[in-house]
Amino acid sequence: MGVPSVFLRTFGCNFKCQGFGMPRGELSQEANNIDPVNFKKYEDLPLVSTGCDSYASWDPRFKDLSPMLTSDAIANRIMEILPFNEWQDEHLVITGGEPLLGWQRAYPDLLNHPKMSGLKEITFETNGTQKLSPEFKDYLMQWQMPGVDFNREITFSVSAKLPCSGEKWEEAILPEVVCEYEQVGTAYLKFVIATEQDFADAECAIAAYRKAGFKGHVYLMPVGGVESVYTLNNRTVADLAMKNGLRYSDRLQVPLFKNEWGT
Ligand code: SF4
């Protein structure tokens, strides 16, 4: 939090998370009711307050609003965004959708690009369900080998989806997948909490990850893409984290930028 970061958002997700912000068992239709023919630009799409707030980055109906870019074009765009037009202290956060789908095949080409050579820290924001391909795992391992003269830090920020997301437990809580991430970098878990039931679910999930050997930190984060919802339960979730020896994750972007595209 507070680290200057460039976010690279890939298209596609294996989930829909239509349960967020809804009474348990109900699915949001907010994004489904948006008609793509009315919109020419990603930035013009309506923001939603229930379901996945990143719907435009995975719903196939909006795919044409996301450009298909070469590694060269992405690297050039990143240089334009960076304040000194080169990597300094900034992190690269690769997010989605779900960034560890087939995109794993494309990252080496981008990360080997000469303009990315100064990049030192990379975070994958993932839902923790996608195994690393053997090729991509080997690629990431190169920076962890003893004696390498250039060490890139790799972090997996795993937002595992509890039943409040509307996704099925057996498809969302896959401890062995997340344990594998710890072989190539640092991994932490982050659970979005709205109710006591969510916390009870998080406790069950944490027990399953620990049983599988997961060693990383665990964060609780209050639900709330918009400030009115967020401020309702952030103190309660912080108290829960403190009482249970867990970490608390704020949502700095909500008070800073409100609910806007690009945040
Ligand atoms: S896993 Fe993330 S990007 Fe995918 S639908 Fe759920 S909240 Fe949205």
* pLDDT number for residue 57: 94
pLDDT of 229 strictly over 70: no
CA of 56 to the centre of ligand 1 (A): 11
Paired tokens of 119: 């990049």
Judged by DSSP in three states, 253 sits in helix
Query: Is the bond leading into 118 cis (omega within 30 degrees of zero)?
Result: no
In which band, very low, low, confident or very high, does the pLDDT at 225 lie, cut at 50, 70 and 90?
low
Answer yes or no: is the C-beta of 192 below 6 A from any ligand 1 atom.
no
Q: Give, using CA atoms, the residue closest to atom 3 of ligand 1.
A: 97
Model pLDDT for residues 92-120, shown as the tens digit of each residue: 999 999 999 999 999 999 999 999 999 99
- The one-character DSSP state at 150 is S
Model pLDDT for residues 26-84, shown as the tens digit of each residue: 999 999 999 999 999 888 999 888 899 899 999 999 999 999 999 999 999 999 999 99
Can you tell me which atom of ligand 1 is nearest the CA of 167? 6
pLDDT of 263 strictly over 70: no
Please tell me the distance from the alpha carbon of residue 95 to that of residue 92, in angstroms, as a whole number: 10
* pLDDT number for residue 153: 95
CA of 164 to the centre of ligand 1 (A): 12
- The one-character DSSP state at 104 is G
pLDDT of 186 strictly over 70: yes
* pLDDT number for residue 38: 92
The model's pTM is 0.94
Paired tokens of 92: 């690269």
Answer yes or no: is the C-beta of 162 below 6 A from any ligand 1 atom.
no
pLDDT of 226 strictly over 80: no
CA of 126 to the centre of ligand 1 (A): 9
Residue pair 212/206 in contact (Cβ under 8 Å)? The answer is: no
* pLDDT number for residue 161: 97
Chain mean pLDDT for the chain: 93
Query: Is the bond leading into 97 cis (omega within 30 degrees of zero)?
Result: yes
* pLDDT number for residue 253: 80
Answer yes or no: is the C-beta of 223 below 6 A from any ligand 1 atom.
no
Burial 151-171 (b: 16+ CB within 10 A, else e): ebebbbbbbbbbbbbbbeeee
Q: Give, using CA atoms, the residue closest to atom 2 of ligand 1.
A: 97
In which band, very low, low, confident or very high, does the pLDDT at 256 lie, cut at 50, 70 and 90?
confident
Percent of the chain with pLDDT over 90: 78
pLDDT of 261 strictly over 80: no
